[in-house]
Amino acid sequence: MSEKVLMKGNEAIAEAAIIAGCRHYFGYPITPQTEIAAYMAKRMPKIGGTFLQAESEIAAINMVYGVSAAGKRVMTSSSSPGVALKSEGLSYLAGADLPALVVNVQRGGPGLGGIQPSQSDYFQATRGGGHGDFHMIVLAPASVQEMAEFTVKGFELADQYRMTAMILADGTMGQMMEPVSLDLAVSPMPEKPWATTGTRMKRPHNIVNSLYLVPEVLERSNFERYERYRTIEEREAMYEEYRMEDAEICIAAFGIAARVSKNAINEARAEGIRVGMIRPKTLWPFPSAPFRAAADRVKAMISVELSMGQMIEDVRLATECRVPVSLCNRVGGMIPEPEQILAAIREAAKTGGNKQ
């Protein structure tokens, strides 16, 4: 086992990106993710990479488009309002089938909101993140170790499926320090025969574009993209089950909400309540199968979120409304305390559902 180092989640993302072979970073500072840019500013010049503080978030995402078209691993990062600004670029990346890694260290909204942690960009991230029909692969780390691992995974998935992978973290994950092993396995970057790397007069021009004026052609490109999405939904959903073996109540939570939920689950277990958790590690594709399977075993589900209830819709879709799903939440930069979740668990244990 390699030596562990203490790092902030944001720094772990930056270092993992470098380990994954990313040599191009474009960003614009915003709390609570600025350490990513600061780390890149320090490291990139020393390893022959590019760090560029763009004039805006929109400029940064379009620089990502350019580097990606040239076949290189590239990333940008921001926080909620900044990611909203990038939505045009996210759609163009999708339309041009370009791989990229985008990090959103979420803060409370809407509007400029605040700078404290939030998970209220769930819809924005999982429903595409821009205009037109598209998806991003959305990874939801719940530890500094996962911040690092999912960054590598994100680059790999992005290249494999030619699309954007997003790390959907929050202010707590970005700011906290935990021991992390940076002994990360990186698979070699696939060939990118579509990249605009110069023809050397030996092949036809590659064209990277998202404009299709003939509707039949545009329709076909959408259909083909969604074929690819179907493969991803079948293969790439990731989740963790925690104490679900005999659970009669199931918590659904990701990221920091899952961390706090673990405390509450352990306290409830000590009271004799059989509760467990399914923690999605990918939010798109959503791990529907384990939720669907759990729906036949548990009498109630509780979605714990730092939002007004966004993931709860996917839980209800996955479980086909076979069990009652309640919401336990705080918003605006507030984080539920274990006691609040424990109270929701007790309530569900008392009243939840009508299953035997």
Partner 1 sequence: MSTMQFLFSGFGGQGILFAGKFMVYKGMLEGKQVSWLPSYGPEMRGGTASCSVIVGDEPVGSPIVTRPDVLVAMNLPSFDRYEPAVVPGGTVFLDSTLISRKPARSDVTVYEIPATKLASDNGIPTLANMIIVGKILHVLGQFDEGDVEAALKKVISAKHADMMEANLRALRLGTQA
Binding-site member from 171, 276, 287, 352 for partner 1 (CB under 8 A): 171
**First vs last Cα of the chain: how many Å apart?**
46
Q: Which stretch binds partner 1 (CB under 8 A): 17-25, 124-132, 172-180, 232-240?
A: 172-180
- Give the nearest distance from C-beta 345 to partner 1 in angstroms: 14
User: Should residue 6 be labelled a site residue for partner 1 when binding is judged by CB under 8 A?
Assistant: yes
Q: Contact region for partner 1 (CB under 8 A) — 62-70, 176-184, 300-308, 322-330?
A: 176-184
**Shortest Cβ 193–partner 1 spacing (Å):** 44
Which of residues 52 and 115 has its CB atom nearest to partner 1 in the complex?
A: 115
Residue 8 C-beta: closest distance to partner 1, Å: 9
What backbone phi and psi angles, to 5 degrees, belong to 212? -130, 100
Backbone angles phi, psi at 23, to 5 degrees: -120, 10
- Which x/- pattern over 93-132 shows residues binding partner 1 (rule: CB under 8 A)? ---------------------xxx----------------
Tell me which residues in 284-323 interact with partner 1 (CB under 8 A).
none
Query: Would you give the binding string for partner 1 spanning residues 226-265, x where CB under 8 A is met?
Result: ------------------------------x--xx-xx--
Pick the closest to residue 176 from 41, 10, 332 (CA basis).
Answer: 10
Least distance between partner 1 and beta carbon 175 (Å): 5
| Nearest one of 130, 126, 129, 127 to 139, comparing CA atoms | 126
Write the CB contacts of 80 (distance below 8 Å, at least 6 apart in sequence). Answer: 104, 106, 107, 108, 109, 113, 118, 120, 121
Rounded Cα gap, residues 45 and 68, in angstroms: 19
- Cα-Cα-Cα-Cα dihedral of 54, 59, 62, 67, to 10°? -20
- At 256, which amino acid appears? I
- Nearer to partner 1 among residue 41 and residue 115 (C-beta): 115
Residues near partner 1 (CB under 8 A): 4, 6, 31-32, 114-116, 171-172, 175-179, 256, 259-260, 262-263, 266, 333, 335, 337-338
